[in-house]
Amino acid sequence: MPQSDGGAGRQSNESGASAPGGAGRQSNKSGALTLVIGTRRYSSWSLRPYLALKAANAIFDEVEIALRQPTTGAAIAAHSPSGKVPVLRHGMHVVWDSLAICEYVAELFPEAGLWPQESRARSVARSVSAEMHAGFPTLRSACSMDMCVTTPLDDIPQALAAEIARIDALWADCRARFGQGGPFLFGAFTIADAMYAPVVSRITTYRLPISKAGRDYCDAVWALPAMIAWRDTACA
């Protein structure tokens, strides 16, 4: 799978064509990539485009803004038209919203295969990504992401159980229909996995009840080199 935390990576160019030599991709007109994120430990939205950029083996700088501080709003406003992180800067160009950034990264690096190749698989990957982006409010509020502590949740309200059951079912469906080529939802790592990585963190750290297949999927995402790198920095 195309995960790498090593130094040599890709820089984008507008055509998406490969640079010779394999050491990376030089951007031409578009400029350097900078991902502006919130505190790694808590910023579930920021984790997604980080994983997408890593999966594309992109070269990018990171700016981390401390969340939940008196200065947070002003610090984010210096980068983000929406007042939220993550934001991707590409030269003078700015993209905000985690899913929009993932889409942009997929277009900058088409060879990374960040969406499944096959049209129906891709449409399902987009469906489950959108479902995550817009949904699961109880999981978000009852189990806010904190990668650095394990806090088993013993009392699972019905609304939360229903959301976990839906996630488990959609993961099982993706794995059964499209997951033959690897341990991720569509086999190889895609944006759908990036979108669900914060859910994996919540299920893991809150020890939420999930099927064996769901647990195996969580373990695969939790063990990604880029996920480990994020966690190591977040919890250092």
Ligand X SMILES: N[C@@H](CCC(=O)N[C@@H](CS)C(=O)NCC(=O)O)C(=O)O
Residue nearer to ligand X on the CB measure, 101 or 221: 101
Residue 2 near residue 57 (C-beta atoms within 8 A):
yes
| Part of the chain binding ligand X (CB under 6 A), chosen from 79-87, 163-171, 181-189, 201-209 | 79-87
- Is residue 43 a contact residue for ligand X (CB under 6 A)? yes
Instruction: Map tokens 């059964």 to a residue.
Output: 176
Task: Collapse the DSSP code of 189 into the 3-class scheme (helix H, G, I; strand E, B; otherwise coil) and give the result.
Answer: coil
Which residue among 85, 124, 197, 220 contacts ligand X (CB under 6 A)?
85
Q: Please state, in angstroms and as integers, the Cα–Cα distance from residue 113 to each residue in 11, 19, 154, following that order.
A: 16, 17, 39
Q: Per CB under 6 A, which of residues 53..72 are in contact with ligand X?
A: 67, 72
Q: What is the DSSP string of 4-70?
A: --SS--B---TT-PPPTTSS----SSS--EEEEEE-TTT-HHHHHHHHHHHHTTB--EEEEE-SSST
| Part of the chain binding ligand X (CB under 6 A), chosen from 96-104, 157-165, 192-200, 207-215 | 96-104
- Is residue 38 a contact residue for ligand X (CB under 6 A)? yes
Instruction: Map tokens 């499944």 to a residue.
Output: 116
| Part of the chain binding ligand X (CB under 6 A), chosen from 95-103, 152-160, 164-172, 183-191 | 95-103
Residue type at 225 in one-letter notation: P
Q: How far is the CB of 76 from ligand X (least distance, A)?
A: 6
Helix (H) or strand (E) holding 90: strand 87-90
- Is residue 73 a contact residue for ligand X (CB under 6 A)? yes
Residue type at 139 in one-letter notation: L
Which residue among 11, 27, 57, 98 contacts ligand X (CB under 6 A)?
98
- Is residue 84 a contact residue for ligand X (CB under 6 A)? yes
Both tokens of 48, joined, read 């997604």
Task: Collapse the DSSP code of 227 into the 3-class scheme (helix H, G, I; strand E, B; otherwise coil) and give the result.
Answer: helix
Of 159, 163, 177, the residue nearest 121 (C-alpha): 177
Q: How far is the CB of 68 from ligand X (least distance, A)?
A: 7
Residue nearer to ligand X on the CB measure, 83 or 181: 83
Residue nearer to ligand X on the CB measure, 44 or 201: 44
- Is residue 94 a contact residue for ligand X (CB under 6 A)? no
Q: How far is the CB of 73 from ligand X (least distance, A)?
A: 5
CA 209 to chain centre: 22
Residues that bind ligand X (CB under 6 A): 38, 43-46, 67, 72-73, 76, 84-86, 97-99
